[in-house]
Amino acid sequence: MRTAISGLEVRSASSLGEALGILRDDRWTPIAGATDLYVALNFGTLEPRRFLDIWAVNELRDISMNGTTLVIGALATYTSLIRSALVTRQLPMLVEASRQVGGPQIQNRGTLGGNVANASPAGDSLPVLAAVDAVVVLRSADDERRIPITKFYTGYRATVMRPNELIVAIDIPPVEGRQWFRKVGTRAAQAISKIVVAGVRASVPRIAFGSVAPTVVRVPETEGSLAAGANIDEAARVLSREIAPIDDLRSTAEYRMRVATNLLRRFWIETG
Amino acid sequence: MKFVLNGASTDVKAHPMARLLDVLREECGLTGTKEGCGEGECGACTVLINGEPVCSCLIPVVQVESADVLTIEGLGDDHPLQHLFMNEVGAQCGICTPGMIMAAIALGPAPTLDDVKTALAGNLCRCTGYSAIYRAVLKWREMPVANISASATR
């Protein structure tokens, strides 16, 4: 049954300063594109009752370069990532990931900052961000913190964010090496991933998986074995010890393990 | 809540967290927009906001303040794409049809079949098998329809 809206409170901010001022004084749950949050509302599982609508904070939509760092505003939608010449040049696998999020309707509203904040282990953009050591930029009324994405999640749907903070941007350091992204779902569009993987092929490869653990994960032992010259069979064995997928409504642990190791092989072959 | 609805200024009294879908259907009396899944999976509730297709079941109405909203009713009763959906039998039960048309209407000129499939990837149809829908959209844009296979891959 849908959550009754009569008990919900909403405030809207039209600038970052206004939004951070509201969050300093009281506890509000930010809403951006609402594509995840509203599903919970429609299914009656929405816990928060007070919301801060930040959709109109246009200063958080910019995609720009700061020296060699690609800076993606938290409210950049998947559609704007797909259309961005900068993202296409610097981080093409994020364009690929964005194309596979939902359909155009979701891509037009869903935001990169929202995908990070929602903290789903199946978030399509998160392995991309983890594989390139992206940095989550958090701002509060009096402070800014920069947290590597690999340190941002502390457990299932849990992050280091404080209630008075907003994600304002995601910083992408320069990426050397070939980028590779693959999502395996039930169908090509409109599917939540059973397994999602992003990799960068360099002397030390960087590989991240979604949907195999309570959070997005890097697989440092697998990366290390490949960097040390292990063949792909050995690396796949290392991977199968390093991840622990579970059975859930979308897939089984056994299937996920098989597909994860197959995707590791595919990554290695296609980027070799 | 003030916004432009199908070209006319509108002022509706609604809770800011009400779904745009419910405001359209219940406050504005525009029942052409359908509810399918209520979770952004099926596209039946697609409308355009500032020219871009969105799922109206996932839009808090507070977010359309000052925006331009177009629903299926805004196309009138004689739009060529509506006729093509009829003529090509791109509709059977009809629940997906308004959303399909609103997603397709946002396509640019000269789309390929792949462009059409991508534009409609967020819209599910359980009757037609999609080919007739793709044919209707391609004919609307005066594109060749020869190579539409029976299977829909998106």
CB A87 within 8 A of CB A81: yes
- Work out the pLDDT band at B45, boundaries 50, 70, 90: very high
Q: Rounded to whole angstroms, what are the CA distances from A181 to A100, A173, A205, A213, A234?
A: 10, 18, 13, 18, 22
Q: Do B154 and A10 touch (CB under 8 A)?
A: no
Q: Any idea where the domains of chain A sit in the sequence? A: 5-53, 59-172, 178-271
More reliable by pLDDT, A7 or A86: A86
- Of B41, B74, B107, the residue at which a domain comes to its end is B74
Report ipTM for this prediction: 0.94
Q: Is A103 on the interface with B (CB under 8 A)?
A: yes
Whether the pLDDT of residue A257 is over 80: the answer is: yes
- Asked if residue B41 and residue B93 are part of one domain, the reply reads no
The answer to whether residue B9 is domain-embedded is yes
Number of domains in chain B: 2
Residue B93 belongs to a domain with what CATH number? 1.10.150.120
- Work out the pLDDT band at A4, boundaries 50, 70, 90: confident
Query: For residue B145, with 0-12 CB atoms within 10 Å meaning exposed, 13-18 middle and 19 or more buried, which class applies?
Result: middle
**Three-class DSSP category at A63:** strand
B interface with A, Cβ–Cβ < 8 A, is 15-19, 38-41, 43, 46, 49, 52-55, 57-60, 62-63, 65, 103, 106, 118-124, 153-154
Q: Do A79 and B52 touch (CB under 8 A)?
A: yes
Residues in chain A: 272
Q: Report pLDDT for A247.
A: 84
Which chain A residue has the Cα nearest residue B122? Answer: A103
**CA-closest candidate to residue A126, choices A195, A58, A57:** A195
Beta strands in chain A (DSSP E): 9-12, 29-31, 50-53, 63-66, 69-73, 135-140, 143-148, 153-155, 158-159, 166-172, 178-184, 195-201, 206-210, 217-218
- Taking 3-state DSSP, the helix, strand and coil percentages for chain A, each rounded to the nearest 5, stand at 35, 25, 40
Q: For residues B125 and B97, what is the distance between their CA atoms, to the nearest angstrom?
A: 8
Q: Report pLDDT for B82.
A: 96
Judge: domain A178-271, CATH 3.30.70.1530. Answer: no
Q: Report pLDDT for B151.
A: 47
Residues in chain B: 154
- Work out the pLDDT band at B147, boundaries 50, 70, 90: low
Q: What is the pLDDT of residues B54-107, one digit of tens each?
A: 999 999 999 999 999 999 999 999 999 999 999 999 999 999 999 999 999 999
Q: Which residue has the tokens 């020296």?
A: A67
Q: Rounded to whole angstroms, what are the CA distances from A30 to A124, A163, A248, B109?
A: 20, 10, 28, 37
Fold of A59-172: 3.30.465
- Work out the pLDDT band at A191, boundaries 50, 70, 90: confident
Question: Which residue among B15, B17, B122 sits closest to A105, beta carbon to beta carbon?
Answer: B122
- Work out the pLDDT band at B144, boundaries 50, 70, 90: confident
Question: Which residue among A5, A12, A104 sits closest to B103, beta carbon to beta carbon?
Answer: A104
CB B132 within 8 A of CB B90: yes
Indicate the average pLDDT of chain A: 94
Q: Do A190 and B59 touch (CB under 8 A)?
A: no
Q: Do B17 and A5 touch (CB under 8 A)?
A: yes
- Asked if residue B54 and residue B10 are part of one domain, the reply reads yes
How many other CB atoms sit within 10 Å of the CB of residue A215? 22
Q: Do B54 and A109 touch (CB under 8 A)?
A: yes
For residue B1, the distance in angstroms to the closest alpha carbon of chain A comes to 13
For the entire predicted model, the pTM comes to 0.95
Q: Is A42 on the interface with B (CB under 8 A)?
A: yes
Residues 6+ apart with CB under 8 A from B35: B21, B25, B44, B45, B57
- Asked if residue B56 and residue B26 are part of one domain, the reply reads yes
- Asked if residue B116 and residue B66 are part of one domain, the reply reads no
- Asked if residue B60 and residue B28 are part of one domain, the reply reads yes
According to DSSP, residue A7 is labeled G
Residue B85, domain extent = 80-140
Q: What is the pLDDT of residues A72-100, one digit of tens each?
A: 999 999 999 999 999 999 999 999 999 99
